[in-house]
Amino acid sequence: MLSRVANAIYWLNRYIERAENVARFIDANYHLTLDIPESADDQWQPLINTTGDHELFKDLYGEATRENAIEFLAFDRNNFNSIYSCVRAARENARSIREYISSEMWEQLNTFYLMMNTAARESSLDLPHQFFVDIMNASHTFIGITESTMTHGEGWNFGRLGRMLERADKTSRIVDVKYFILLPSVDYVGSPYDNILWAALLRSASAFEMYRKRFGRIDPQNIIDFLLLNRDFPRSIHFCLATAMKAMNLITGSEQGTYANKAEQELGRLMAEFQYASLDEIFDRGLHEYLDNTQLRINEVGNAIHKVFFNMDVDT
């Protein structure tokens, strides 16, 4: 397939996934602050840190409040990672490969964008929850339509690769930021708030119910285990990397456990680390350091994908 098309479908899926994650982060946080109003002011800045755009935010808004945080994360056009910007970029990418994706995918994404555009024009959000649910639903619908209308070939795998790398990155970021705010809040330990706060982290990764089924009691270590290392939960980092690896193998034609290029090698190595990791080792090394390193390496995989597939040097 054309490199440009592969690039567009990869990013299209990353952007949709990013929009969905930001929507879920905001929604979970919003609910949390309604449960514990006195914590409200402390909860928004960390969320902005999650996205890595805190400096831009500081320049534009200064101190974080609920209103300006939602504005920045959801609607601000100056923020390239706002939900608005992501959906717009996703749609722009889709537009450039309309002939390649199925028309069902295009039509859903276009409708999604128009819905988003209308919401962005309305100044006050009376029902923020509904809006964020709509965003998440639209993303799930898109994935479902993609699944059932597009040939599961090279392009589909590039899309899946992009989505899974994005999701792994986002899960690692939300865990990184939230874990360290939640941990020292000893005031809350044993209080009803304790459960609420940790549950909010799980909800940010849409993991609350599935976690309950697996571990039952809310326990920080188990939560980390679940979000990082679980093999079967679709938002755990391990699951995301393993699925990304499957997509990569199908793209290159490499057999499982082998690699044909730098991108595949890097991704395989990172996945293997999660495959054979233990919680004790992760905490020994330091959770923050471990997650930081993971994000860095996901970035490197992304760069290698660009070099190998999208921007191949053919001029020599």
Partner 1 sequence: MKFDRYDTEGFYDELFTPDGHPRPGAELVVRRINNLPEQELQRRQLAAEKALLNLGITFNVYSNEAQTEKIFPFDIVPRIVQANEWTRLEEGLRQRIQALNAFIHDVYNKQQIIKDGIIPADLVFSADGYRKPCIGLNPIHGVWCHITGTDLVRAADGEFYVLEDNLRCPSGVSYVLENRLIMKRTFPMVFDSCSVQPVTDYPSRLLDMLQEMAPHGLRSPTVAVWTPGIYNSAYFEHSFLAQQMGVQLVEGNDLIVRRGEVMMRTTKGLERVDVIYRRIDDDFMDPKVFRADSMLGVPGLMEAFSKGNVALANAPGTGVADDKAVYAYVPEIIRYYLNEDPIINNVPTYACWREEDRAYVLEHLDELVVKAVNESGGYGMLIGPHATQAEREEFRRRIQAKPRTYIAQPTLALSRVPVLVDDHFEGRHVDLRPYILYGKDSIYVLPGGLTRVALKKGSLVVNSSQGGGSKDTWVLNSQGGPSPESTLAGKEGLSC
- Note the residues at the interface with partner 1 (CB under 8 A): 1-4, 6, 92, 95-100, 103-104, 106-107, 110-111, 114, 154, 158, 251, 309-310, 312, 314
Smallest gap from Cβ 283 to partner 1, in A, equals: 40
Q: Is the backbone of residue 32 left (phi > 0), alpha (psi -120 to 50) or beta?
A: alpha
Rounded to 5 degrees, what angle do the CA atoms 278, 292, 61 make? Answer: 140
Answer whether 312's CB lies under 8 Å from 3's CB: yes
Our CB check for partner 1 shows the closer of 103 and 191 to be: 103
Smallest gap from Cβ 115 to partner 1, in A, equals: 10
Smallest gap from Cβ 24 to partner 1, in A, equals: 26
Rounded to 5 degrees, what angle do the CA atoms 18, 20, 25 make? Answer: 95
Lookup result for tokens 């809310």: 218
Our CB check for partner 1 shows the closer of 214 and 306 to be: 306
Our CB check for partner 1 shows the closer of 156 and 290 to be: 156
d(CA 185, CA 183): 6
Q: Is the backbone of residue 303 left (phi > 0), alpha (psi -120 to 50) or beta?
A: alpha
Lookup result for tokens 């495959």: 275
Our CB check for partner 1 shows the closer of 4 and 212 to be: 4
- Sign for the pseudo-dihedral over CA of 92, 98, 100, 103: positive
Smallest gap from Cβ 3 to partner 1, in A, equals: 5
d(CA 227, CA 236): 4
Our CB check for partner 1 shows the closer of 12 and 26 to be: 12
Smallest gap from Cβ 9 to partner 1, in A, equals: 11
d(CA 253, CA 109): 30
Smallest gap from Cβ 113 to partner 1, in A, equals: 9
Task: Quote the tokens at residue 230.
Answer: 């679980």
